Structure 1
């Protein structure tokens, strides 16, 4: 068993830890950033354009400010999230892995465009080999998608000349025959290229088989007439291709309030009205997105079960305030320990006081025993007897309901009282007999004298 001193030291140590945690929590809250860093892509792409739209509404509707990071694309964005250089990022799900990251919300579908010049003889991906084809800059989602599709069709990047340039170079470099561009249908740079009327789109042959080999891909068609060109809407007919999802990803450890601010605006009517390509789907039910790690706050948002949603929200609140909850638990434990110690001290003090009173009764009984030996007056002995009886009753009353009722001190006191009472009763009886004998002698003498 721990000593009282050790228990007291432990309780104060726990209280000190709670104090440190409270200071740490306060420091965290006071230094909680009001800046949201969102990694996008190059300024001419739709990722950046959408980031600009989102920035406007976040800053308008919340107390956060937004910093847009110009990057090379999805691969670069993932690296910035993992390095803590960005809080959120727009990434293509088939371009990068979301391991150690979280999806906050799906945004739109990115379509793979095989762009070639109108006067080119290229009619398929295989025909592109041997030509100057822009596959995207290193670190971009464009290039990651291009490398995957080339690998599937047994093609090498070295078979494509000038392949590490951005596709807008098609407008300034006549030697560039085409590009592989995986992006949303509202990409400003792609729309600018197509608006020139100098380019056409080629179908991706075997798109269905290619999508079957990648969990984050599905097949789709680029709608006819989606791009406005000087020669009229293009393409003239829908084009078979594959699509992947662009999603908003977040790094771990973000304050839930920050994630909520972004999630609210991502799903607001104003943002959706200004970004008509945004998806209206539940990622927990989508056959592609349901396998991606979803942020706990997003999971609560999209979860259709209200009861589970409330429970999940509670868990989220606990997770967000875990330091404060831990502090509260420590303080509660310390308070309970201190109250317990105080109660024990009070009980011990009561026991000590009772023991002192009981010891006083014992000493008084011993004193009476000593004094009665020299007493010769029966009236004094009678007084001693009454006093001992009172002391005995006092001892019984003192220990009633306490642990002292079985103590050696109480038993010795009761025994001492009993012994003194027997001595007094014996002496009183002896005195009564002596007095009776004396009276008989006096009576006999009276008769003789008569």
Structure 2
């Protein structure tokens, strides 16, 4: 079977491969889910408000249909992600582990606030024991942050009555004297509650010390007039507090197109205007979070050549680690190259020498032939010598062409000597033929 008979089979092979590739891509496209499950928070919470808003924005900016999952906090959202019951979730790294999870972007800041009735005699955190202070549900983010705060002030949560109640009870009735909450300043219920003017905020004087010992928590000062009330903006002075950031998180193996769709929505001008934390994250932190792994799609978005730089740095680091062995290899290579170059040069010189020897041998042959024919007058001998000279000349020409020596001086001398001998023999032959003709006549 020659190559021409194989052409149809090769063409059919390429065609079948193309069909298989298109079929596979179509299958992958059809099997890629267009539904994005977003775990937010409890109904009425700020996380739920954010989830509802992001649902609309993602559906407007992409082809994904978003299903909003109502949940109970960061730990619950983490379990939803781990069990593949949610694709993206709002959670706070300060309140749950991020093992095998990655962040897409921060979405809000949750300030830790100690709120008490304005007419109570509670003026500091140390006054809380013995009072009815809500800490939230057992696994809620509010309770986790509150317990850290109480532990730092060496207050046993069992000394707080009705601490299992939630924040809404503080506004609804008189069963509580206060509450410790970790919530955004934009939370609608919290702002509605503070507008009544019935509550005041206690300073967390140990905020810097506590933040320095707690991962993902930063000390902060709550600005004056953060909450509008019927009695005027409050607080009337800056209040020491702390905050932690809630992030949009997903699994580390989440599909790139899904994460890219969410990120594209967050990077739109309208979304960044609605969530100023995104602008701060992009402009001041280069799309990174402290001690939180970002999804690969996010890293590529902010640093397209990051993986290449990381690989290059790793190679350089390994090279430095094995620098002694690399130096030895380089020395061996340089030495080997020098020896090889010397060997090649020697072969070239030897080859040149052999070329000249072959030409010299032909010169010797033509010289001997010239001497042999110089005293010869026999017609047959001269004819034989002429044929021998022509053969030597032809052999010399082949050698010169083969060895690329046609322009060399030694070949030119050989060639001229051959021509001279041929002319001499031809001259003698012509004289002999003329003499023979005269004798015959």
* TM bin (shorter chain): 0.5 to 0.7
In the alignment, which residue of structure 1 is the partner of 2:38?
Answer: 38
Contact 2:74-2:90 at 8 Å conserved across structures: yes
- Equivalent residue, structure 1, for 2:171: 171
Q: How far off is 1:110 after superposition?
A: 1.3
Separation (CA, whole Å) in 1 of partners of 2:284 and 2:187: 27
The match for 2:147 is 147
| Residue matched to 2:202 | 202
Give the aligned partner of residue 160 of structure 1: 160
* Mapped contact 2:105–2:278 kept (Cα < 8 A): no
Matched, 1:113 2:113: yes
CA offset at residue 153 of structure 1?
2.4
Rounded to whole Å, the distance in 1 between the matches of 2:286 and 2:231 is 38
What corresponds to 1:439 in structure 2? Answer: none
**What is the alpha-carbon distance in structure 1 between the residues aligned to residue 175 and residue 192 of structure 2?**
19
Aligned: 1:298 with 2:298: yes
Please tell me whether the aligned partners of residues 197 and 229 of structure 1 are also in contact (alpha carbons under 8 angstroms). Answer: yes
Match of residue 445 from structure 1:
none
- Structure 1, unmatched stretches of 5+, are 1-18, 315-450
User: Which residue of the partner structure matches residue 406 of structure 1?
Assistant: none
Tell me the residue number matched to 1:339: none
**1:218 and 1:274 mapped to 2: Cα distance?**
22
Question: Offset at 1:28?
Answer: 4.8
2:67 partner SS: strand
- CA-based RMSD of the aligned residues comes to 2.8
TM-score by length of 1: 0.60
Higher relative contact order (CA closer than 8 Å, sequence separation 6+): 1
Question: C-alpha displacement at 1:194, in angstroms?
Answer: 0.6
Classify 1:91/1:198 alpha carbon distance in 2 versus 1 (closer, same or farther; 3 Å). same
Given the alignment of the two structures, is residue 215 of structure 1 paired with residue 212 of structure 2, yes or no?
Answer: no
Deviation at residue 71 of structure 1 after TM alignment? 1.3
Residue correspondences, number: 293
SS of the equivalent of 1:289 reads coil
CA contact (8 A) 2:287 2:302 kept: no
Q: CA deviation at 1:25?
A: 7.3
1:436 corresponds to: none
Structure 1's 275 and 122: CA in aligned 2 closer, same or farther, altered over 3 A? same
SS in structure 2 of the partner of residue 186 of structure 1: coil
Do 1:225 and 1:235's aligned partners in 2 also have CA atoms closer than 8 Å? yes
**Within 1, Cα distance between the matches of 2:234 and 2:92?**
25
* Aligned-residue offset at 1:21: 11
1:51-70 deviations in Å (ceiling 9; x for gaps): 11111111111111111111
Q: Distance in 2 between matches of 1:298 and 1:258?
A: 11
Offset of 1:31 from its aligned partner? 2.4
Q: Distance in 2 between matches of 1:167 and 1:215?
A: 25
User: Which residues of 2 match residues 96-111 of structure 1 at below 5 A?
Assistant: 96-111=96-111
Deviations 1:182-228 (A, max 9, x none): 11110111111111111111101211111111131111011111111
Residue number in structure 1 paired with 2:361: none
Contact map agreement 2:286 2:302 (CA 8 A) in 1: no
Give the superposition deviation at 1:105: 0.8
Q: C-alpha offsets along residues 228-247 of structure 1, whole Å, 9 cap, x if unaligned?
A: 11111111111101111111
